[in-house]
Amino acid sequence: MNAPARPPRRLESYVCGAWTPGQKEGQELLDAATGAPVAYIDSSGLDFAAVLDHGRKAAGPKLRAMSFHERAEMLKALGLALMERKEEFYAESFRTGATRPDGWIDIEGGIGTMLTFASKGRRELPNTRVLTDGDLEILSKDGSFSAQHILSPLQGVAVHINAFNFPVWGMLEKIAPTLLAGVPCVVKPASQTAYLTELVVRRIVETGILPEGALQLICGSVGDMLDHLTGQDAVTFTGSAWTGRKLKSHPAVVANSVRFTMEADSLNASILGPDAVAGTPEFDLFVKEVAREMTVKAGQKCTAIRRVIAPRAQVPALVEALRDRLGKTALGLPDAEGTRMGPLASFDQREEVRERIRDLQAVAEIVAGNPDEVRLASGDAGAGAFLNPVLLYADKPFAAQPVHEVEAFGPVSTVLPYDDLGEAIELAQMGKGSLVSSVFTDDKAVAEEVVLGVAPHHGRVLIGNRASAKTSTGHGSPLAGLVHGGPGRAGGGEEMGGIRGVKHYMQRTAVQGAPRLLSAVTGRWIEGAEVQHDVHPFRKSLAELKIGDQLITAKRTVTKEDVEHFAHFTGDTFYAHMDEASAKANQFFDDRVAHGYLIASFAAGLFVEPNPGPVLANYGVDNMRFLTPVYFGDTLQVRLTCKEINPRANAEHGEVRWDCQVTNQDGAVVAQYDVLTMVAKTWPLQG
Ligand code: NDP
pLDDT at 371 over 60: yes
648 band by pLDDT with thresholds 50, 70 and 90: confident
- Contact status, residue 324 vs residue 442, Cβ threshold 8 Å: no
Condensed to tens digits (0 to 9), the pLDDT of residues 181-210 reads: 999 999 999 999 999 999 999 999 999 999
pLDDT of residue 687: 54
C-alpha–C-alpha distance, residues 215 and 158, integer Å: 10
Q: What is the ipTM of this complex?
A: 0.94
C-alpha–C-alpha distance, residues 485 and 303, integer Å: 10
Q: Which helix (H) or strand (E) holds 21?
A: strand 18-21
Give me the residues paired with residue 637 across strands: 555, 663
Domains and CATH numbers, the chain: 47-263 (3.40.605.10), 269-480 (3.40.309.10), 531-680 (3.10.129.10)
pLDDT at 3 over 80: no
C-alpha–C-alpha distance, residues 461 and 469, integer Å: 15
- Contact status, residue 18 vs residue 180, Cβ threshold 8 Å: no
- Contact status, residue 620 vs residue 676, Cβ threshold 8 Å: yes
- Contact status, residue 100 vs residue 335, Cβ threshold 8 Å: yes
pLDDT of residue 418: 98
Q: Report the nearest atom of ligand 1 relative to the CA of 220.
A: 47
Condensed to tens digits (0 to 9), the pLDDT of residues 449-479 reads: 999 999 999 999 999 999 999 999 999 999 9
Kindly report the pTM of this predicted structure.
Answer: 0.92
C-alpha–C-alpha distance, residues 639 and 632, integer Å: 21
pLDDT of residue 486: 95
Which residues are near ligand 1 (CB < 6 Å)? 161-165, 188, 190-192, 222, 238-240, 243, 247, 263-266, 302, 352, 407, 409
How much is the average pLDDT of 54-60? Answer: 98
Distance 238 CA to ligand 1 centre (A): 7
Ligand 1 atom 46 nearest Cα: 190
DSSP secondary structure, 190-230, as one string: -GGGHHHHHHHHHHHHHHT-SPTTSEEE--S--TTGGGG--
Q: Sort 131 into a burial class: Cβ within 10 Å, 0-12 / 13-18 / 19+.
A: buried
4 band by pLDDT with thresholds 50, 70 and 90: low
C-alpha–C-alpha distance, residues 621 and 591, integer Å: 28
- Crossing angle of helices 100-124 and 86-93, rounded to 10°: 140
The beta-strand segments (E) located in 24-170 are: 27-30, 37-41, 131-138, 146-153, 158-161
686 band by pLDDT with thresholds 50, 70 and 90: low
| Torsion from C-alpha of 154, 157, 158, 161, nearest 10 degrees | -170
Distance 221 CA to ligand 1 centre (A): 12
Sequence-distant (≥ 6) Cβ neighbours of residue 27 within 8 angstroms: 40, 41, 42, 191, 220
Distance 242 CA to ligand 1 centre (A): 9
pLDDT of residue 649: 76
Distance 240 CA to ligand 1 centre (A): 5
Ligand 1 atom 30 nearest Cα: 240
Give me the residues paired with residue 415 across strands: 308, 393
In sequence order, which ranges of 249-362 are alpha helices (DSSP H)? 251-255, 281-295, 315-327, 347-361
Q: Which helix (H) or strand (E) holds 115?
A: helix 100-124
127 band by pLDDT with thresholds 50, 70 and 90: confident
C-alpha–C-alpha distance, residues 271 and 428, integer Å: 8
Q: Percent of the chain beyond pLDDT 90?
A: 95
Q: Percent of the chain beyond pLDDT 70?
A: 99
C-alpha–C-alpha distance, residues 48 and 224, integer Å: 7
Instruction: For the chain, give the mean pLDDT.
Output: 96
In sequence order, which ranges of 343-488 are alpha helices (DSSP H)? 347-361, 401-405, 421-429, 444-454
pLDDT at 345 over 90: yes
Condensed to tens digits (0 to 9), the pLDDT of residues 544-599 reads: 999 999 999 999 999 999 999 999 999 999 999 999 999 999 999 999 999 999 99
265 band by pLDDT with thresholds 50, 70 and 90: confident
Dihedral pair phi/psi, residue 45, rounded to 5°:
90, -10
Distance 410 CA to ligand 1 centre (A): 15
Most informative mutation of 30, 40, 162, 164 for ligand 1 (most atoms within 8 A of CB): 164
| Torsion from C-alpha of 118, 122, 123, 125, nearest 10 degrees | 110
Say whether the peptide bond before residue 515 is cis (omega within 30 degrees of 0).
no
Give the closest residue to 170 by CA, choosing from 152, 149, 185, 148. Answer: 185
Ligand 1 atom 24 nearest Cα: 239
> Would you please indicate which residues are annotated as catalytic (active-site) residues?
263, 302
